[in-house]
Amino acid sequence: MFEPGVMFWAERDDLEMVRSLGVRYGQMGIPGSMRLTGAVAAQWKAALEAAGLTLVTVFAAYEGEDYADIPAVARTVGFVPEKTRAVRLARTLAVSDFAAQLGVGSIACHIGFVPEDAGHADYVAVREMVRTVSDHAARHGQSFALETGQEPARVLLGFMGDVDRRNLRINFDPANLILYGTGEPIAALETLAPLVISVHCKDGDWPAPGVHGALGVERPLGEGSVGIGRFVETLRKLGFRGPLNVERETEDQRERFRDLAGGVRLLRALARP
Ligand code: MG
């Protein structure tokens, strides 16, 4: 399984285009507005089988999230915003049920910026939510993976230790550490390695110095500051065996698929034994 995979989105991406990338593995994102019924799950299961795609992760996203800059992320993303917690908890449990219907053994999401202060009310509330989701996922035999990058590796590690659930894992995205300016990705990977269950292969450049709240800029794989060759080599050295899921989030779909295809080619070369 140490081979290219793809991170794609249900409803947004044409499955035929995903299939044309020539990969066998993927991670599917579920938009916050998507209806999750048994019938929809059955349709997806059949479509994925017909496309020859095996999902390793189902990702939850939520209505009202905004990734424009760091303050927008802090205000709108994941489990941190208080007003949407109950709705997003219910949604995440529904995504876990949906993934179980597809036979997928891992769910994931961005939980938002975890406060560093373990006594903060938001920290306590988010910790309880993560426990609830982990326990629900465990009943389906699933892991629950947190996406990296919105906090430094040591903060994430401390938080996860505090949550204290065996099926709580990490989806490691090296570019996010750069885009959010939270740390050097290879060092973070080495710190978090025992908990990494899946990865995104995404690239990007650091935020411009002196611009408060700005995110860095995502780049096509191999063209940013991650050092994707070193990233893949470090994964190999650490014994990671899962697919290398290329991720590219850009508005223009044509550009996006061109870059996903380029990423798959690059990873195919890098992952060679
Ligand atoms: Mg990612």
**pLDDT at residue 2 greater than cutoff 90:** yes
User: Which of 16, 112, 67 lies closest to 251, judged by CA?
Assistant: 67
- Whole-number Å distance, alpha carbon 150 to ligand 1 midpoint, is 11
How much distance in Å is there from the Cα of 209 to the middle of ligand 1? 23
CA of 248 to the centre of ligand 1 (A): 8
Q: How confident is the model at residue 115 (pLDDT cuts 50, 70, 90)?
A: confident
**What pLDDT shows up at residue 190?**
97
Question: CB atoms < 10 A from the CB of 11, how many?
Answer: 10
How many Å lie between the centroid of ligand 1 and the Cα of residue 267? 16
Q: What per-residue confidence (pLDDT) applies to 116?
A: 86
d(CA 182, CA 164): 23
**Percentage of the chain lying above the pLDDT 70 cut:** 100
Q: What is the distance in A from the centroid of ligand 1 to the CA of 200?
A: 5
Report how far residue 196's alpha carbon sits from residue 171's, in angstroms, rounded to the nearest whole number. 6
Average of per-residue pLDDT across 21-28: 97
Continuous H helices in the chain: 15-19, 38-51, 70-76, 85-102, 121-139, 153-163, 174-179, 185-192, 228-237, 253-270
Tell me, in angstroms, the distance from the centre of ligand 1 to residue 4's CA: 15
pLDDT of 88 over the 90 cut: yes
142 CA from centroid of ligand 1 (Å): 19
CA of 105 to the centre of ligand 1 (A): 18
Find the 216 Cα to ligand 1 centroid distance in Å: 14
More reliable by pLDDT, 149 or 47: 47
Q: For strand 106-109 and strand 168-172, is the pairing parallel, antiparallel, or unpaired?
A: unpaired
* pLDDT of 43 higher than 90: yes
Closest CA to 249 of 272, 215, 208: 215
- 245 CA to middle of ligand 1, Å? 9
| Confidence band, pLDDT 50/70/90 cuts, at residue 212 | confident
- pLDDT exceeds cutoff 90 at 150: no
Ligand 1 center–CA 173 separation, angstroms: 5
C-alpha 224 to ligand 1 mean position (Å): 15
